[in-house]
Amino acid sequence: MAAIHTFRLVWVSPHHGAGIATETKPDAVVQYRGETMIVSPKR
């Protein structure tokens, strides 16, 4: 059984995801199951 990993992604900008504090609202949450994935920011 392959492990599934959850990644919470944050696209960094001057007012989001920058600085010392941990960002509480990720821009994307993906489930990695060992296969190639392409994740892009929403436009």
Give the model confidence (pLDDT) of 1-43 as tens digits. Answer: 568 999 999 999 888 888 888 888 999 999 999 999 999 988 7
Instruction: Say what the pLDDT of residue 33 is.
Output: 93
pLDDT, tens digit (0-9, with 9 covering 90-100), for 16-26: 888 888 888 99
Radius of gyration of the chain (CA): 13
Instruction: Look up residue 15 and give its DSSP letter.
Output: T
Query: Which has the closest alpha carbon to 26: 12, 5, 38, 14?
Result: 12
pLDDT of residue 17: 87
